[in-house]
Chains A and B, each alone.
Chain A
Amino acid sequence: MNNFSVKAESLSKTFGRRLIFSGLNFEFSKKGIYGISGPNGSGKSTLVQIIAGLISPSAGKVRHIMEAKDIPPEKLHNHIGFVSPYLVLYEEFTALENLELFAKIRNVHFNTEKIEYLLKVFLLYERKDDLVKTYSSGMKQRMKFIFAMMHSPRLLILDEPTSNLDDEGKESVYRITREQGSDSIVLIASNERSDLELCSEKIVIQDYKNISVQEAN
């Protein structure tokens, strides 16, 4: 499926006077699972938000290339899936209503088979008609994965994917992440050892600007 790549060129980010990172260069051009790690405050979440096109870098740029052409920023959202602790779904709607509305707003086909499959994998099928506000934090976290994967994105970005999840939930996430990684690019930003064990290659952000690429053991 994938003819998609992500390329960061001299990426820097500052918040006011505070430097988060500078001069980051990397490229993900093959499908697979990649990791981003670093100490707290090193800018992992900021970096993945920049890659997802949610915030702008202070300098440099991120290119999303598909079929040898750059994807324009206004069309990027249909190619990206994003899971983050900051992501909140509409709690006044049921899980199914949320997903139907997202498909309509994205103007993509509502793939009932895929949605049912994801609901079953993430153990939410029985609760699909309940309002999201009645869900536990773990269920909300699992629901975010369905939201991120329902449109079959070329790039799936997972920021701290297993926060709030029990062992069963983590297993579902790892299983579906491996499946997705065989078909597209998956980026995991985390410090959890078990999350990073899924990755074939790992970027480590250190000392604001140094970046080291480590092959998985």
Chain B
Amino acid sequence: MSSKAYSLFIKDFRSELRTRYAINSLAMFIIVAISVILFSIGNERVNENLTAGLFWVVIFFTAMSGLARAFVSEEERGTSLTLQLIASPSTVFTGKLIFNLILVFCMNIIIAVLYSAVFDAFVIRNFVLFLCAFVLGNIGLAISSTIIAAIISKAGAKGTLYPVLSFPILLPLILTSVQLTLFSIDGTGFEKSKFELAVVICYDVIMLTASYMLFDFIWKD
């Protein structure tokens, strides 16, 4: 299955390079969101709490603007049927998940670099903890966004439904990731961050398992 999923990812990657469905909207959103935050803050000194929160707000809304494309573009172009005829549901989900994982990581690395360049308060004191929060948070974000994208691609009001459905599903992940980012800015050690790290790991595992179990039903009808 892995080679089939990889081929599906390659198909999506090449398609994205030619159509720029997701890349353009993500790039524009990152620039606009960070600029708006920068202009609205002005010369104010932003505390660490707010910096960590705003960092994940940018990530959350950027994900909203681009990650749904994985399935919505197939549905809008009418190629879902083609995909159903060439691959099993688990292959389709794995391929789309790989694509979204890579997109999320690229997008969030750019956000982190830009964010640390323009916000003085965004200084990471425990880099390893930040890296754990970043990696686990991004994996959770990619898994959740992929399954939500699959659900909303079958619905009528795709544009509004995505953030509405994402909010309750992503809330535990975002809150925990904000807390972990705050710890890494504070310089808090791993001992005190154990609970939050366990929550994010559990979230990722539960979402991945639930997604594979649900996807057959979502994809077929």
Contacts and interface: CB of A to CB of B under 8 A. Distances in A.
Are A and B co-members of a single complex? yes
A147 B95 CA distance: 20
Contacts of A102: 86
Contact of B81 (A56, A86, A101, A106): A86
Contacts of B90: 74
B89 interface: yes
A82 interface: yes
Contact of A77 (B11, B14, B86): B86
A88 B85 CA distance: 11
B85 A52 contact: yes
Contacts of A52: 85
A175 B86 CA distance: 25
A92 B15 contact: yes
Interface string A39-75: 0000000000000101110000000000000000111
A11 to B, nearest CB: 15
A76 to B, nearest CB: 8
Contacts of B24: none
B193 interface: no
B20 to A, nearest CB: 10
B3 A107 contact: yes
Interface in B72-124: 77-79, 81-82, 84-91, 95
A91 interface: yes
A88 B81 contact: yes
Contacts of B14: 93, 101
Interface in B1-53: 3-4, 7-8, 10-11, 14-15, 18-19
A84 interface: yes
A105 B86 contact: yes
Contacts of A55: 220-221
B3 A77 contact: no
A87 B15 contact: no
Interface of B: 3-4, 7-8, 10-11, 14-15, 18-19, 77-79, 81-82, 84-91, 95, 220-221
Contact of B77 (A82, A91, A105, A106): A91
Contacts of B11: 90, 101, 104-105
B58 to A, nearest CB: 30
Given A88-B77, A92-B18, A105 B220 contact: no
A176 interface: no
Given A101-B11, A107-B4, A54 B87 contact: no
18 contacts: A52-B85, A54-B84, A54-B85, A54-B220, A55-B220, A56-B221, A73-B88, A77-B88, A86-B78, A88-B78, A88-B81, A92-B18, A101-B7, A101-B14, A104-B7, A105-B4, A105-B87, A106-B87
Given A77-B87, A104-B7, A90 B220 contact: no
A146 interface: no
Given A75-B88, A77-B87, A104 B10 contact: yes
A86 B81 CA distance: 8
A89 interface: yes
B7 A77 contact: no
A188 interface: no
B144 to A, nearest CB: 24
